[in-house]
Amino acid sequence: MSQHKLTSIEIQCLQEAVTSDYKIAGIRLREGEYQYELSKAIASFQLEFYLPNVKDLIKKIHGEDKADDVQLIRKTQTVLKKMEKSGVTKILPKTKPWELQRYALSSFKFIDIEKNRVSFATDEQIKLAIEKIKSVVNQQNITMLRTNSVTLCILAFMTTICYIVMLWSIMQPTINPVIFAATFPLSILCSIMLGKVLSKTT
């Protein structure tokens, strides 16, 4: 299972799932049926902060050797689409065009079409997931703040240098058009980027 930095959309999906109460599902979630097994598999991945694609789910349910079974992939995708329409799963936007679509449960608790209450995580697992999400969000915020601070310093330095060079060029008896033409647009660009970074940090 490959690990990667969670995107804001992924974090939002994880937060919504762990904080959601029982959701109404327009589908039956009976143990032993495929939609139940898929929900259970997605939940197990989701509790590990990984949002699976169709091949991940097939490997977990059917084994590694079935991951490239075209008919099984199509069947699974059809059921997952039905689950999405029923409010059980969410399909996440692709981060890269060639990637397979990934799935998340909209909640860990459902009331299915037969009025049965179904849970795919214990209260303890959900509590631990909430704490872990807080930790991940805090860590990513710290990392973003550090990155923005470095970017801010670099842009501020470049902007200052550009304005100093431009001012020096203007104060010369003969203005060098090459220096002025190079520094003027660069100083404007740095100023704009500096403003954008500042707006993100406030």
The CATH code of the domain that includes 12 is: 1.10.10
pLDDT tens-place string over residues 125-174: 999 988 888 877 666 655 566 666 677 777 777 778 777 777 777 777 77
Of 121, 153, 173, the last residue of a domain is 121
Residue with the larger pLDDT of the pair 117 and 189: 117
Q: Are 106 and 46 in contact (CB under 8 A)?
A: no
Residue 3 in any domain: the answer is no
Tell me how many domains the chain contains: 2
Polymer length of the chain: 202
Q: Tell me which of 7-16, 59-68, 99-108, 113-122 is least confident.
A: 7-16
pLDDT tens-place string over residues 8-62: 788 888 889 998 899 999 999 999 999 999 999 999 999 999 999 999 999 999 9
Residue 2 in any domain: the answer is no
Q: Check whether residue 146 and residue 83 sit in a common domain.
A: no
SS3 content of the chain, % helix, strand, coil (to 5): 65, 10, 30
Q: What does each C-alpha distance from 185 to 155, 165, 190, 196 come to in angstroms? A: 14, 13, 9, 17
Residue 31 in any domain: the answer is yes
Which amino acid does the sequence have at 171? M
Residue 57 in any domain: the answer is yes
Q: Check whether residue 78 and residue 167 sit in a common domain.
A: no
Q: Check whether residue 102 and residue 150 sit in a common domain.
A: no
> pTM above the 0.85 mark?
no
Residue 126 in any domain: the answer is no
CA distance 161 to 156: 9
